[in-house]
């Protein structure tokens, strides 16, 4: 059986084993090379001692970190960029963890041994290079073998078609939409329906489906049971596409009245101390980042002044927490009078209003840096829903009343919608992310979003 056939279903375990073995060999080669780069061909024995005797522990730690960061996951990580950042995280976590383990041993058991911090830095760099090259090579090989992560959409045909268009337009090329399993129709090639929910199991087996996305929220319990059972029996990973309803507001806190199980719709953060801690961290981080990025802001301001007439800083009214209006600051990236009638206009791809310098600033999100001042003042937070203009807010709240929930928290420099969505994503799609964020607001969530934002900025994804 060819690899292309096998990898439509469950991940091939043998591939992970072989890649893991290659990683272990690479860990050894990189460690030797790091020492040679630091000391030359004659590495002092005192620097070799701990690594020679305890390399299994160090390598095991890096291997665990690599798995934890998803470096053996070719179902969800389908682009080299994703593996690069995962590789960086695994290299830093594994190598630094191993270094501290060896420092502990040297301090309490082997005082004659020596450890070089430069070796650790070189080792991290070499590991990142290995992880990126090996995973990019693996992805290229999988593409040549016609490996595909095949996805089936389950639910309302109209909603599924809309989601299918989004996936085909923006998902990695190795993710393939196999078709729609409708909850109320039969197979129809023109509408992409490949069968009904009752036919899901033979469809999954025949089409070699890897993942399913449940789009219909109103599916009855019998059909839902059958969908879950079919996916579990065939190793298909099932996801739910959240709709703008009660379910997206629900938290995991369960209580009961008179023996009736109830799920709270009150955001968990309202009953925690985290909002106060979050504000304190915002103040410290914004002050530090303003100091560190001041030269960069000054250089960008000089470039704007030299190439475009008008003020360097662009000011605009936005709506903050509890609908409180505030002035948002950005480096100006458009020509003057970009909105001559003062009517709100979203930027578009290749927008002629954007200046050449402005386009570069937008690509790397450098135009947003002055908003650190908004964070310091308390208008915004580092993480939260993006602030919107009053004109848009009124329209969105009338069309989608749940939009009001965004004003429970301070708007942010970045958010869940910015790392998963795109600039031109419909506001209702962004609202899904914003409501999920509000219900899961925590230190862990904020840290994950900040790390993912770094990846988004460095890849220039979603800029406009």
Q: What is the DSSP letter of 146?
A: T
Task: Read off the DSSP letter of residue 364.
Answer: T
Residue 6, pLDDT score? 39
Contact 160, 182 (CB under 8 A): yes
Non-local CB neighbours of 173 within 8 Å, separated by 6+ positions: 78, 143
**What is the distance between the alpha carbons of residues 272 and 281, in angstroms, rounded to a whole number?**
16
Separation between Cα atoms, residue 42 and residue 39, nearest integer Å: 7
- What pLDDT is attached to residue 429? 86
**36: exposed, middle or buried (C-beta count within 10 Å: 0-12, 13-18, 19+)?**
middle
pLDDT at 266: 76
Written as tens digits, the pLDDT of the chain (464 aa) is 333 333 443 444 677 888 999 999 999 999 999 999 999 999 999 999 999 999 999 999 999 999 999 999 998 888 898 999 999 999 999 999 999 999 999 999 999 999 999 999 999 999 999 999 999 999 999 999 888 999 999 988 888 888 898 888 888 889 999 999 987 766 666 668 998 888 999 999 999 999 999 987 667 888 888 899 999 999 899 998 887 776 666 666 666 565 566 666 777 787 788 999 999 999 999 999 999 999 999 999 999 999 999 999 999 999 999 999 999 999 999 988 777 666 666 676 678 899 999 999 998 899 999 999 999 999 999 999 999 999 899 999 999 999 999 999 999 999 998 888 766 668 888 898 999 899 889 998 999 899 889 888 887 665 55
What's the whole-model pTM score? 0.76
What angle is formed at CA 165 by the lines to CA 159 and CA 167, rounded to 5 degrees? Answer: 100
User: Where are the domains positioned within the chain?
Assistant: 3-144, 149-241, 274-459
Which structure tokens are listed for 414? 């970045």
Q: So what's the pLDDT on residue 223?
A: 85
Question: d(Cα 269, Cα 12) in Å, to the nearest integer?
Answer: 41
Just give the CATH number of 149-241.
3.40.50.720
Helix-helix angle 221-233:200-207, to 10 degrees: 30
pLDDT of residue 185: 63
* DSSP 8-state class, residue 388: B
* Helix, strand, coil abundance in the chain, percent, nearest 5: 55, 15, 30
Which pLDDT score, from 0 to 100, does residue 189 have?
Answer: 66
pLDDT confidence of residue 268: 76
For 34, the token pair is: 């790091």
Other Cβ atoms closer than 10 A to 70: 17
- Give the whole-angstrom CA distance, residue 389 versus residue 220: 40
């Amino acid at each position: 059986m060819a690899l292309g056939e096998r990898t439509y279903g469950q991940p091939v375990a043998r591939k992970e084993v072989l890649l893991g073995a290659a990683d272990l060999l690479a860990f050894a080669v990189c460690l030797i090379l790091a020492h040679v780069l630091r000391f030359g061909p004659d590495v002092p024995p005192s620097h070799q001692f701990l690594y020679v005797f305890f390399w299994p522990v160090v390598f095991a730690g890096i291997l665990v970190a690599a798995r934890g960061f998803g470096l053996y996951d070719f179902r969800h990580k389908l682009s080299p960029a994703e593996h690069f950042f995962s590789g960086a995280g695994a290299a830093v976590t594994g190598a630094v963890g191993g270094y501290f383990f060896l420092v502990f041993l040297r301090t309490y058991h082997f005082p004659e041994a020596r450890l070089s911090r430069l070796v650790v830095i070189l080792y991290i760099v070499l590991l990142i290079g290995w992880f990126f090259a090996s995973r990019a090579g693996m992805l290229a090989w999988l593409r040549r073998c016609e490996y595909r992560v095949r996805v089936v959409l389950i639910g309302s045909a109209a909603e599924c078609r809309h989601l299918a268009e989004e996936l085909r337009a923006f998902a990695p090329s190795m993710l393939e939409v196999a078709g729609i399993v409708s909850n109320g129709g039969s197979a129809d090639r023109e509408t992409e329906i490949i069968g009904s929910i009752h036919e899901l199991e033979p469809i999954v087996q025949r089409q070699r489906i890897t993942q399913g996305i449940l789009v219909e929220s109103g599916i009855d319990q019998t059909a839902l049971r059958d969908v879950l059972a079919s996916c579990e029996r065939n190793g298909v990973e099932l996801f739910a596409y959240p709709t703008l309803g009660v379910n997206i507001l629900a938290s995991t806190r369960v209580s009961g009245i008179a023996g009736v199980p109830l799920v709270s719709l009150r955001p968990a953060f309202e009953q925690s101390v985290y909002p106060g801690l979050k504000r304190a961290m915002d103040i410290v981080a914004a002050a530090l980042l303003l100091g560190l990025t001041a030269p960069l802001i000054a250089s960008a301001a000089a470039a704007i002044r030299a190439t475009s007439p008008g003020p360097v800083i662009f000011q605009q009214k936005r709506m903050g927490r509890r609908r409180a209006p505030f002035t948002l600051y950005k480096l100006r990236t458009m020509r003057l009078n970009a909105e001559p009638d003062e009517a709100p206009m979203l930027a578009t791809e290749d927008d002629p209003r954007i200046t050449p310098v402005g386009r570069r600033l937008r690509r790397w999100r450098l135009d947003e840096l002055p908003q650190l001042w908004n964070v310091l003042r308390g208008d915004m937070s580092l993480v939260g829903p993006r602030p919107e203009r009053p004109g848009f807010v009124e329209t969105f709240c009338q069309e989608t009343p749940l939009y009001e929930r965004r004003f429970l928290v301070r708007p942010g420099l970045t958010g869940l919608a910015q790392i998963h969505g795109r600039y031109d994503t419909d506001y209702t799609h962004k609202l899904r992310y914003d409501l999920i964020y509000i219900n899961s607001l925590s230190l862990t969530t904020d840290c994950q979003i900040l790390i993912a934002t770094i990846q988004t900025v460095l890849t220039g994804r979603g800029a406009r």
